[in-house]
């Protein structure tokens, strides 16, 4: 029985430590972004997000824009990051 408690404590401790490290890395990456623009509302969020991203890219600002939408009953995600013609993730056109 002691063995099971040790396994439980080690497993819980390792998951807790992994979660704390992941959270710290996440916050460090968030704080590395100098400016963030959040678009919210009921309608038109995807269109405004694409419009703002296009305007920023047109001004020469390195931009990442993420939109999610439902199309034909399935969920699709596009994240575009263009910098000197390079895309970070699939879905770039």
Find the distance separating the first CA and the last CA of the chain, reported in whole Å: 58
Mark the ranges of the chain whose per-residue pLDDT is less than 70: 69-93
User: Which pLDDT belongs to residue 82?
Assistant: 44
Average pLDDT, the chain: 79
Work out the widest C-alpha separation in the chain, in whole angstroms. Answer: 65
User: Which pLDDT belongs to residue 73?
Assistant: 52
Between CA 90 and CA 50, with CA 54 as vertex, the angle to 5 degrees is: 65
Residues 6 or more apart whose CB falls under 8 angstroms from that of 82 comprise 57, 62, 63, 92
Question: What is the side-by-side order of every strand in the sheet holding 63-71?
Answer: 63-71, 74-83, 86-87
Q: Are 91 and 79 in contact (CB under 8 A)?
A: yes
How far apart CA 77 and CA 87 sit, in angstroms, is: 15
User: Which pLDDT belongs to residue 85?
Assistant: 46
Beta bridge partners of 67: 78
* Chain segment 59-80, per-residue pLDDT in tens: 998 888 888 765 555 555 554 4
């Amino acid at each position: 029985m002691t063995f099971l408690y040790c396994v439980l404590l080690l497993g819980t401790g390792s998951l807790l430590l992994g979660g704390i490290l992941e959270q710290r890395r996440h916050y460090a990456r968030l704080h590395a972004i100098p400016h963030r623009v959040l678009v919210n509302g009921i309608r038109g969020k995807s269109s405004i997000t694409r419009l703002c991203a296009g305007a920023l890219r047109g001004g020469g600002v390195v931009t990442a824009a993420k939109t999610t939408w439902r199309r034909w009953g399935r969920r699709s995600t596009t994240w575009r990051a263009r910098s000197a013609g390079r895309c970070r993730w699939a879905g770039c056109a």
